[in-house]
Structure 1
Amino acid sequence: ALINNNVNINARDRRNQTCLHMACAHGNSFVVHTLLRGGADLNHQDVNGWTPAYTAAYHGRLGCLQMLVKWGGKLDEVDNEGNTAATRVASNDINDIAFSHS
């Protein structure tokens, strides 16, 4: 309903996180898909440099991470500490993700 009423889907909170970051943190694949279909910025970085993909990887949300990759989410965006979603996946032992996207 919000997307259909021209609400800013990429609105940010005080930490510069979007709804997509929050949906990924909580592992809500339905909301992630809805936001992506509505045009959410899937590579937006928060104050720590975390993208939604990094957030999903950090929290071990494989389903969300796979969806972001399918939609073109980047795994090589560097956060403020020099880490990427790809390195976070490796450190969390999430080995099922396909890195074939480029």
Structure 2
Amino acid sequence: MNALFVINAAFNTGQTVASRGVFDLACENPDFAQFIQKSLNRHVKGDWGDVDEEDKQTNDQALKQGMRLLSAYNDDCFPQNGLATIWIITEADRSATTILFPNEY
């Protein structure tokens, strides 16, 4: 898997890491790796993805108050992982951002 990068981030992501499951699938599947990159770019721009309105508002407040951020992104192209929902979590202190499958939380 190539290094991930972000452009015009609205906040510091710290070190970006992926869970073993996400990393392994990204190494095997270039389309999935591209989905991760697009999702990360959405996350750092404040597009929280496929979360409900309440969670979007919580993230908007968390961004202002320096709390933890959680985004969710779905892509049906990867059936081996259900809907291939990935979560992207940026820690409150902005020291790290983790990309993982919900069942790895």
TM range (shorter): under 0.3
Q: Identify the structure with bigger relative contact order (alpha carbons < 8 Å, sequence gap 6+).
A: 2
TM-score if structure 2 supplies the norm length?
A: 0.22
